[in-house]
Structure formats: structure tokens, C-alpha cells
């Protein structure tokens, strides 16, 4: 099978997942070490205290980076994991809308684009990987 130009969308999705995961990890670390940075309404973001939210965001960031790296390898399970984690990441960013509305909107939009790229063009990555292994 011949490579198509659409395969670049899978590479884009993988790289964006790595970048978004790194940013999530940074958000989590800031929540852990400089919690006052995120305080917009009392001491809680949604339902957690800032330390718990920092750990959750840090863990989510690490998982998103791993999913992005796995997506670049072309693994079928990575496409499923990427869609799930991008959706979770988009929902998690809703917690930051009141604190950083522009940033949250950008990340949510990128999550939607990543989901679209993987769902629409994921089979092309698998087909290319199969044809290159022959």
C-alpha cells in the first residue's frame, strides 16, 4: 500500500499528544508546588483540593505522553488509548476554564482535532505499518 498524505495527521496527533501531555504534567507540577497559582474560587478546582488535582493532572500528562509515543509506533491499541485519553484530557481541561479560559479552549480544541485525526485516519497508519514490515 502506498503512503498517503493523510498519514501526516497521525504523526501530528502523536506529536500533539506528547506536547499536551508535557503541558499537563507541568500543570500538575504547578498545582503541587505552587497551588496558589490556580486558586480562582476558594481552595478547590471542581471537587478536589489542589494537591489532589495536581497529582491527577500530572498522572494524566504522563499517560498522554505515553499514548502519543505509542501512537507514533503505529500500534492499534495506541489509537484506542489516544482517543480515550484525549477525551478525558478535554473534559479535565474544563476545570481550568475559569482560571485560564484561552488556554483551556486551545487544549480542548487540540484534543478534538487529535480525536478526529486518529478516528478518521488511524487505519492508514496501520496499513502503512503493515506494508512496510513486508
pLDDT at res. 95: 76
Bridge partners of 48, per DSSP, are 45
* Residues facing 128 on adjacent strands: none
DSSP state of 100: -
For 102, the grid coordinates are 484561552
pLDDT at res. 126: 58
Across the chain, which has 134 residues, the per-10-residue mean pLDDT values are: 67 92 90 67 57 86 94 88 94 80 90 93 63 53
Q: Is 45 left (phi over 0), alpha (psi -120 to 50) or beta?
A: beta
pTM for this model (two decimals) = 0.79
Amino acid at each position: 500500500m502506498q503512503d498517503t498524505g493523510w498519514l501526516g495527521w497521525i504523526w501530528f496527533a502523536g506529536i500533539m499528544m506528547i506536547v499536551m501531555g508535557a503541558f499537563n504534567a507541568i500543570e500538575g507540577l504547578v498545582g503541587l508546588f505552587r497551588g496558589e497559582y490556580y486558586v480562582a474560587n476558594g481552595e478547590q478546582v471542581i471537587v478536589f483540593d489542589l494537591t489532589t488535582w495536581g497529582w491527577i493532572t500530572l498522572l494524566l500528562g504522563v499517560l498522554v505522553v505515553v499514548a502519543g509515543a505509542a501512537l507514533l509506533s503505529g500500534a492499534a491499541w495506541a489509537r484506542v488509548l489516544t482517543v480515550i485519553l484525549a477525551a478525558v484530557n478535554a473534559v479535565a481541561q474544563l476545570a481550568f476554564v475559569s482560571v485560564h479560559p484561552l488556554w483551556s479552549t486551545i487544549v480542548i480544541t487540540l484534543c478534538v482535532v487529535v480525536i478526529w485525526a486518529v478516528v478518521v485516519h488511524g487505519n492508514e497508519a496501520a496499513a502503512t505499518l503493515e506494508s512496510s514490515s513486508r
